[in-house]
């Protein structure tokens, strides 16, 4: 059996909207771009989100570098989850409310504002990765990069980008 056959067998139909509801997560309103760019673009059957910050009601909720005295791994994971919910909100909006068109999550890229001695960026990004599997089942398993950076826009603790495969 080839690896593509294994992947096809593991991407069974899953209702992400029902999973979100069951897990008591509500998608926020799609965040507006904070610069000269678009939030989502589609190329063939792939959606690419721009970098998404942990924003709520137009404000960054989690600020400062992870690893500092007031921002630890737990707060970083919460920031990553909020970024993810915002990214999914953009995808939901782009697909006219049809999250069931998501065939699979291809890639999650996470940027973690970090102190020079913080090395747990993968643990922080698990906050988003784990949610993708909870929401999309096997189709939520993805490749990922977790990158430590010196700073992020608006002093955000985390920024997330998604690549998502959709059905026509």
pLDDT for 84-139, tens place per residue?
999 999 999 999 999 999 999 999 999 999 999 999 999 999 999 999 999 999 99
Q: Which fold has domain 39-166?
A: 60s Ribosomal Protein L30; Chain: A; (3.30.1330)
The gap from C-alpha 124 to its chain's centroid, in whole angstroms, comes to 12
How far is Cα 39 from Cα 50, in angstroms, rounded to an integer?
Answer: 5
**Confidence bin at 5 (pLDDT 50/70/90):** very low
Residue 2 pLDDT grade (very low, low, confident, very high; cuts 50, 70, 90): very low
Residue 38, CA atoms < 13 Å, CB-side half-sphere = 7
The tokens describing 122, both together, are 């993968």
pLDDT of residue 36: 95
- Mean pLDDT within 150-162: 98
Q: What is the mean pLDDT of residues 135-154?
A: 97
Q: Where are the domains of the chain?
A: 39-166
Q: Which two tokens stand for residue 64?
A: 């400062």
Q: For 26-42, how does the pLDDT look when each residue is reduced to its tens digit (9 = 90+)?
A: 788 999 898 999 999 99
Q: How confident is the model at residue 4 (pLDDT cuts 50, 70, 90)?
A: very low
């Amino acid at each position: 059996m080839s690896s593509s056959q294994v992947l096809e067998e593991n991407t069974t139909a899953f209702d992400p909207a029902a999973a979100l509801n069951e897990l008591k997560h509500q998608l926020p309103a799609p965040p507006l771009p904070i610069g000269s760019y678009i939030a989502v673009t589609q190329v063939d059957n792939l959606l690419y989100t721009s970098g998404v910050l942990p924003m709520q009601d137009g404000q960054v909720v989690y600020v400062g570098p992870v690893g500092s005295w007031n921002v630890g791994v737990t707060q970083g994971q919460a920031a990553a989850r909020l970024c993810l919910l915002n990214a999914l909100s953009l995808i939901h909006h782009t697909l006219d409310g049809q999250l069931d068109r998501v065939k699979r999550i291809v890639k999650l890229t996470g940027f973690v504002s970090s102190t020079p001695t913080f090395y747990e960026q993968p643990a922080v990004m698990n906050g988003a990765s784990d949610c993708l599997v909870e929401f999309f089942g096997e189709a939520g398993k993805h490749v990922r990069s977790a990158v430590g950076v010196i700073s992020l826009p608006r002093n955000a603790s985390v920024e997330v980008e998604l690549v998502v495969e959709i059905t026509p």
